[in-house]
Structure formats: structure tokens, C-alpha cells
Amino acid sequence: MMNFPEYKDSLRKLKTVVYSFGEKINNVVDHPLFEPHINSAGLTYELAHDPRYEDLMTATSHLTGEKINRFTHIHQSTGDLVKKVKMLRMIAQKTGTCFQRCVGFDAMNAIYSVTYEMDQKNGTDYHTRFKEYVKAVQRTDMMVAGSMTDPKGDRSKSPSEQPDPDAFVHVVEKREDGIVIRGAKSHQTGILNSHEMLIMPTEALMEADQDYAVCCAVPVDAEGILHIFGRQTNDTRRLEEGAGIDLGNIKYGTVGGECLTVLNDVFVPWEKVFMCGEYEFAGMLVERFSSYHRQNYGACKTGIADVIIGAAAGISQYNGAAKASHIKDKVADMIHMQETLYCCSIACSAEGSPTAAGNYYVDTMLANCGKLNITRFIYEICRLAHDIAGGYVATLPSEKDLKHPEIGKYVGKYHKGVPDVPAEHRIRMGRLLECLTGGTALLESMHGAGSPQAMKIMLLRQANLNHKFKLACTLAGIAPAEKK
């Protein structure tokens, strides 16, 4: 297993093509825009060597019998699924943001079971290939970016109907030694500090879309790949000399450093191709990946909520309002919503079951319930934090003003709350809340792992409404009509 310094060194060896603010970035590792994302992902390597977290952070590979980082593990029990949830909450408590390895983790577990079922039906050898790939990931402890979301173009049209065929990643050539793919992947979390990307279809496909039914592994610095770094709220603060307090979450930043990743005729050897034309399995892969990923949100987001609630409670103390009954009531509401989210993640893990391939899969209904709750409860938790903290969180002067020889005394004087707490502490806590509850960080709670409508579609699909109708008919003394 790699440690944090080894992880950073491994990134230096990559020749990833990156653009940000219209400029090509030659050194991602030491650039202030990317440093917080590397730090947060790096903690997943650092904690794996900490004896206090060994049970959560490590596992035994079912393929090799070796001790591995849990982020490279294929779930072998409901216990593994539960440990994953507990691990994600613990890391989020320490980073207050996204630590980026979950997407590739979920992609590996989804692809593992789907390739097995493809092989069982079609006599292909994708699963054998993929097991060898997983062994390589576990052996090198590489960070894998899960790459599912396509730009999608005109949402009213299928991939094969798009005016621009590159709106979805697709195969443009099949060779004796591999395939060539073209297109782009959007919102690529942590991809600039990943080693490889696992490309997957983004939706269920029809026969006409079979060129878009592609799943494969590609190095992030492969020829033909370029990454365009997305802007985040207050991102240029990191470019300011001596940036500190104004950053809020100083070491780990916000969200996961997302990119638009462009694939211009990228070659992939057959040993790294795990689906090529099997359109009928695209929907299965999307559903399994999405459910695994939705499991996460009641874990990592509750870990971040731990920090938000702590900051809100802390500011109420700094303001001298902690004992007010309405403040206590709001904090209690925040805790109630937070722990409800955590319950959903634990429940969908404990109710998981083995796939035909032998790895364990979450309860789809409960995973989707949890993520749908996230799209509502996290917003409400943030709203209550804003209510408790006060408007100063959004209007604070800069750190340079605080430390200015002439005006700093006024910033300190008029941002002080209770006498025994320095004004700088109150300002720092306000900046942290600004970072955790605003802009990009909040929007990710809505659309990460799919929009609310995607969860509702899954709930309706899993609910078995006809069974519920028959239950009601039985109690009402009605002979139910046969479903048409």
C-alpha cells in the first residue's frame, strides 16, 4: 500500500495534460488550485497506515490474499459494505470535503459483477480480464477515477440520434489489438490526481446505441486525453499570496476538483476493455454503479455535516447565543436529519446481498432513498447553519484587512462576540462555514450520483406498487383486478 509521499511522487511521474483559466498547467502536484484535492485524497493513503483505523481502511484481497487499501477492495460481505460507510464518514470528518476515491471504488465493484453476468450469457472473457485489472489496482494501490457522466447533448435524443456523435463516449474503431474511443466525460471528480479512469456508459442503451456500450480502463495521461479544470466557488483565493483564513477549509478545500475530460481518439488495448457493444448490459452497469455511489452519500455527507454542525454550534457559543432555546432546537433538527441520512447508508449496506459474481451489492431501494434524502436534508442543514451563524458569514472582510496595520483593529473590534474568544477565531469559523455550505459544495449534494429524478425513477421501479395495491385490497375486502 502506498503512503501519502509515495502517492504524491506517483502523480509527479504522470504526463497529464491539464488546462485551467485558459493556461496549460505543467505541475499539478505543487499548484495551489489542485493542492487541496491531492491532500484530501492523500489522506486515504495516510490513514491506511494508521493502526487506529486499520480495520476500516484496509481489507484482505479475495483475489490474492494480500492486505490492501479498502478503496481497492471488492466487497465480500455486508460487513464490508458497512465498514465502507463507517470509513467514509470518518474520513469526511477529517477533511470536511470530498476525498475522491469513492467513484472508482464503486465503479470497480459494479463492473466486477456485470462482467461476470455478461460472460455467463455471451461466453465472453471480460470478467477474467477485469479480475486481472483489479489485481493490478490492488498491487499498485493506484487511484482510479470512475468516469460515467457524458455531456449528453440533446437530452431528448438517444446517443445514436445526437447531432454530434461525440456527446457520448463511443467506439470509433476496432482493431486487432484494441479499440479507439472518442467523446468526453463531465464532472470528473479527482481525475487530475488519479492514475487511471474507468469509463462506463452513462445510461441504458438500445441496439442502435451499441457503439456507445463501452467500458474500459485508460491512464489519465494517455495520448489523446486532455482535462479542463472546472471553476469552483472562491477558487481564485487559492492563487492569492499568503492565502489562509479566507480559504475556510485551508488544507482540504471544497468538493473534488472536477474536470471536463476530453478523449480524442484514445487507443485502449483489449486487455483493458470490459464491455464493447453489449448494449443490453449498459443499464445494469449504470444501476449498480449508481446504487453503490448513492450508498456513500449518507456516509461522507454526514461526516461533513458533523463539521457543519460543530461549526454552527461553535459560532453560537462565540456569539453568546448557545443557550438560547431556538438555537438548541435548530441544532437538534440538524442532528436528526444528519443521523437519518446515516441510517439509510447503514441500512442499505446491512441489507445487501451477494451478486452472481460473489461480491456484495447494496439494497437498491434503501440506497436511493438515502441519496434522495441527501438532496433535501443537506440543504436544510446548511440553511439552519446559516440561520444560526448570522449574515456575517457572507460579508466578512479579507484576512489582509484583518491584519492591516491601520484598519485591522476595526475588523477585530467589530467582529468580536463574547469577550473570551478572539475575533480571529470567530472569523475563521465563519469562513469555514462559507466554504462548507455555499456554491459548488452544496450543488454537489443535489446532483452528485444523479439528480433527484434519477432516484425517484429507481424508487418507482423497486417499489412493487402492484404488491402494495394487493395489500390494500386485502384489508379493504376488495378482490383486486389482474394487472393489465
Catalytic residues: 98, 102, 189, 258, 293, 297, 300, 444
- For the chain, the residue count is 484
The annotation status of 189 as a binding-site residue, yes or no, is yes
Closest CA to 249 of 316, 308, 335, 292: 308
Backbone φ/ψ region at 424: left (φ over 0), alpha (ψ -120 to 50), beta: alpha
In sequence order, the 6+-apart residues with CB closer than 8 A to the CB of 386 are 393, 433, 437
Angle at CA 446, nearest 5°, toward 304 and 151? 120
* CA 154 to chain CA centroid, nearest Å: 25
Residues tagged in the binding site annotation for FAD: 189
